[in-house]
A = this chain, B = another copy of it.
């Protein structure tokens, strides 16, 4: 039966790395030639990495990207496949674009029409919008081209392509991860396919870029909304699938919706007729590649691992350093780091004080042993005493308070940074989202470091992911005692987190309503929470914006991560 073969290149491209991305694109084209695909499709802005941010304000950057596209075109001219590559198109202005390349020539350029400017996205800062949807005709079959956001609107550009005859929708994306995004994205794309009785070929990039993780999960979906190819989550892959044309034609004879849409067609879609490629002999694809979906905890763990690995490696580091307190947060971060980088590249530092319980030190040592990582132990007592002595005259007449607690955290921060400076290891910080939200962390203390791995993971989820991790490993890597003891900062005698904070299940539920849903305190109280607790919590969140502003980046996991995603003023009188 007549079919079109698509190779989806779900790979990890680096922001700003035009030269290396170009080489990766060319070698990927070569790599898939054995399967003789009709189309080879790369993710959105694969040539420059996503998001390039203000690199887009440098004309030299735009020019180098244009030169690189020329070279890709030239060096792939000997192949028959049509190649679709994301790049920056410069004309009267710059556009987020897809080049359609055939036999050494750019045959057409699609310019992204819908530019996202919400959440973590700032595309209207950089690009002009394209004006025309694009169908390319290949051996008599129309294939609609679009970029990411263009397919997220039900009556957007892709529906114009459908109305003007597209049988297959190719969408190139760099769609960042949040929890269960892969699933909801897949749902949406299945409905787009079945609504239009067209196949959907969706290529997403994969990799970590500062706070963002791109999860892959590329898809080929048939005209009935059935997934016939799915790339893995959080891994590079090349996915090749055949889209069967007679199925699409028949489905449309059975289903009148496309006729209705064709009636409404504005004929705004541009049509480019590609060269016919005839008599391609090729082997059948034996095994369909349909990666399985992950459960939430696994998904989170893998997102964190990929985020850490790419932040560390793309920034030129090999080894990382983690302060191990024997608590749950640092235990999970260490587990993630070992998964991401190998245990030989993770160093644990124990920094006990007079307030550290014996079991804390034991738990940390046990964890390090289980993970097979090297540790150092450096007491903070002596240095703490020397600070107290020096500050004594100035502090005369005052009572010990949060000052002395912060000082301990800051000495630990200094130790970690000293090791980092001396040996070139990157410090991973261990604060979770519950703490970051209410400011239960010391600026320049436990917040000091290069990457805040779990800053977007609420404490209750930290436990869940840790439990999943032990189960996955089939053994108690994170010691059981870490799960059962009450969380504590151990900065004064007998201290536990719940002295200052509501129980984490209540705190996290309130934070979800306040931060993720942006409800007002009154509305949260109406949802069934104690007024005093709600008001106290909200006040803590609002007051600690200044701390979050100085925190290291960390992996975005929620729909409302602190940073580019949730942009609140520090100076803010709204109560």
Q: Looking at the complex, which of A177-185, A277-285, A286-294, A402-410 is the stretch in contact with chain B?
A: A402-410
Judging by beta carbons under 8 Å apart, are B407 and A53 in contact?
Answer: no
Judging by beta carbons under 8 Å apart, are A418 and B414 in contact?
Answer: no
Within the complex, the shortest CB–CB distance from A424 to chain B, in Å, comes to 10
Q: Looking at the complex, which of A34-42, A118-126, A430-438 is the stretch in contact with chain B?
A: A118-126
Q: Looking at the complex, which of A13-21, A223-231, A244-252 is the stretch in contact with chain B?
A: A13-21
Selected contact of A569 from candidates B15, B378, B385, B406, CB within 8 Å: B15
Chain B residues contacting A443 (CB-CB under 8 Å) are 417, 448
Chain B residues contacting A315 (CB-CB under 8 Å) are 546, 570-571
- Contact code string A388-416 (vs B, CB < 8 Å = 1, else 0): 01110011001001110011001101110
Chain B residues contacting A164 (CB-CB under 8 Å) are none
> In A175-220, which residues have CB < 8 Å from any B CB?
208-210
Chain B residues contacting A572 (CB-CB under 8 Å) are 15-16, 55
Q: A57-B518, A315-B571 are in contact. Are A422 and B403 (CB under 8 A)?
A: yes
Bound-state Cα–Cα, A402 to B574, Å: 43
Q: Whose C-beta in chain B lies nearest to the C-beta of A422?
A: B403
Is A550 part of the contact surface with B, judged by Cβ < 8 Å? yes
- Contact code string A239-272 (vs B, CB < 8 Å = 1, else 0): 0000000000000000000000000000000000
Size of the A side of the interface (Cβ < 8 Å), in residues, is 83
Bound-state Cα–Cα, A17 to B570, Å: 13
Q: A53-B569, A573-B16 are in contact. Are A418 and B391 (CB under 8 A)?
A: yes
Within the complex, the shortest CB–CB distance from A320 to chain B, in Å, comes to 14
- Contact code string A10-29 (vs B, CB < 8 Å = 1, else 0): 00001111101000000000
Within the complex, the shortest CB–CB distance from A470 to chain B, in Å, comes to 31
Chain B residues contacting A209 (CB-CB under 8 Å) are 569, 571
Within the complex, the shortest CB–CB distance from A523 to chain B, in Å, comes to 7
Is A567 part of the contact surface with B, judged by Cβ < 8 Å? yes
Is A552 part of the contact surface with B, judged by Cβ < 8 Å? yes
Judging by beta carbons under 8 Å apart, are B403 and A566 in contact?
Answer: no
Chain B residues contacting A310 (CB-CB under 8 Å) are 571
Within the complex, the shortest CB–CB distance from A471 to chain B, in Å, comes to 32
Q: A15-B573, A54-B567, A383-B387 are in contact. Are A418 and B403 (CB under 8 A)?
A: yes
Bound-state Cα–Cα, A394 to B377, Å: 10
Q: Whose C-beta in chain B lies nearest to the C-beta of A423?
A: B398
- Contact code string A128-165 (vs B, CB < 8 Å = 1, else 0): 00000000000000000000000000000000000000
Is A376 part of the contact surface with B, judged by Cβ < 8 Å? yes
Bound-state Cα–Cα, A522 to B413, Å: 40
Judging by beta carbons under 8 Å apart, are B378 and A394 in contact?
Answer: yes
Chain B residues contacting A421 (CB-CB under 8 Å) are 401-403, 406
Chain B residues contacting A387 (CB-CB under 8 Å) are 383, 414, 418
Q: A54-B566, A552-B550 are in contact. Are A391 and B378 (CB under 8 A)?
A: yes
Within the complex, the shortest CB–CB distance from A240 to chain B, in Å, comes to 28
Judging by beta carbons under 8 Å apart, are B378 and A382 in contact?
Answer: no
Judging by beta carbons under 8 Å apart, are B414 and A573 in contact?
Answer: no
Is A74 part of the contact surface with B, judged by Cβ < 8 Å? no
Selected contact of A418 from candidates B20, B59, B383, B407, CB within 8 Å: B407
Is A273 part of the contact surface with B, judged by Cβ < 8 Å? no
Q: Whose C-beta in chain B lies nearest to the C-beta of A208?
A: B571
Is A386 part of the contact surface with B, judged by Cβ < 8 Å? yes
Chain B residues contacting A448 (CB-CB under 8 Å) are 443-444
Q: A209-B571, A395-B422 are in contact. Are A390 and B378 (CB under 8 A)?
A: yes
Selected A-B contacts with CB under 8 Å, 10 pairs = A15-B569, A16-B569, A53-B568, A53-B569, A117-B117, A382-B389, A385-B386, A398-B422, A407-B418, A410-B410
Besides A55-B574, A61-B574, A117-B125, 7 other A-B contacts (C-beta < 8 A): A15-B571, A15-B574, A386-B386, A403-B418, A410-B444, A413-B444, A550-B550
